[in-house]
Amino acid sequence: MIAVKKLVKRFGHKTVLRGLEFRAEAGEFIALLGPNGAGKTTFLRVLASLSSPTIGEVRISGFLLPGQSAEVRRRLGVVLHEPLLYGDLTAEENLTFYGRMYGLADLPERIAATLELVGLRGRSRDLVRTFSRGMQQRLSIGRAVLHDPDVILFDEPYTGLDQDAGNMLDSVLAAISSQGKTIVMTSHDLARASALASRFDVISRGVISASGLRADLGPERLLPFYQEAVRAG
């Protein structure tokens, strides 16, 4: 589903990703862990086609980036730090806008189903600027899954959420994951990552320094695994 070979990303003289290798199969839920500045967000932006690789090959659903980026974007949902929503539009209008940008048919039905999924059906006519951070994050996930993508990328989705909003996000992510989507999520929150992901990849200094399955590690061994991987990187 995702195949990345020898990915290098430079910004001027600064090299952020240094020959990164990555692979994700259909239906996997991968947590990308790593310290600040390790290159997690840069890697996610390259996968999202928002940033071009300096060197290396990136394929998603068989399509090459950046050459076939429109095909990739059609199959990709992305949730970033910011919700990418317009505050002066209602939840429904935001989804209508993005649905039109993706050329979706049956838009009213899709929007209703998406708002139901993220638990915002009752707030569909409210302006997004009146939403809490947690509600905006859930609507942002709705925006990302509206076109039924094969792959969904999450960049630190729990940032700025309180405990309740985090728990609600857990259930939304679990529901999306149960639909068989391939999910790649960057996170600092090992506890939440361990509860949701099926695989943990640690990025350190621009490469994947370790990779482990939940089945092998279990929640109790994740922290030592992570600390060791960061030290090794």
Q: Does 8 help bind another protein (rule: CB under 8 A)?
A: no
Distance CA 176, CA 148 (A): 10
Say if CB 65 and CB 52 are below 8 A apart: yes
The least distance separating another protein from the CB of residue 5, rounded to whole angstroms, comes to 21
Q: Does 105 help bind another protein (rule: CB under 8 A)?
A: no
What is the size of the binding site for another protein (CB under 8 A)? 31
Q: Does 48 help bind another protein (rule: CB under 8 A)?
A: yes
CA angle 159, 154, 173 (to 5 degrees): 90
Q: Does 86 help bind another protein (rule: CB under 8 A)?
A: yes
Distance CA 163, CA 24 (A): 30
The least distance separating another protein from the CB of residue 134, rounded to whole angstroms, comes to 16
Question: With respect to another protein, which residue has the nearer C-beta, 74 or 188?
Answer: 74
As a whole number of Å, the CA-based R_g of the chain is: 17
Question: With respect to another protein, which residue has the nearer C-beta, 139 or 193?
Answer: 139
Say if CB 161 and CB 140 are below 8 A apart: no
Q: Which of 2, 47, 76, 168 binds another protein (CB under 8 A)?
A: 76
Q: Does 73 help bind another protein (rule: CB under 8 A)?
A: yes
* Choices 18-26, 32-40, 86-94, 165-173 (CB under 8 A): range interacting with another protein: 86-94
Q: Does 74 help bind another protein (rule: CB under 8 A)?
A: yes
Q: List CB contacts of 212: < 8 A, sequence separation 6 or more.
A: 199, 200, 222, 225
Q: Which of 12, 13, 67, 88 binds another protein (CB under 8 A)?
A: 88
Say if CB 94 and CB 128 are below 8 A apart: yes
Question: In the chain, which ranges are continuous DSSP H helix?
Answer: 40-47, 69-74, 91-101, 107-117, 133-145, 163-177, 190-196, 214-232
Q: Does 54 help bind another protein (rule: CB under 8 A)?
A: no
- Pick the closest to residue 194 from 159, 226, 169 (CA basis): 226
Contacts with another protein, residue ranges (CB under 8 A): 45, 48-52, 70-71, 73-74, 76, 78, 80-89, 93, 97-98, 100-103, 127, 143
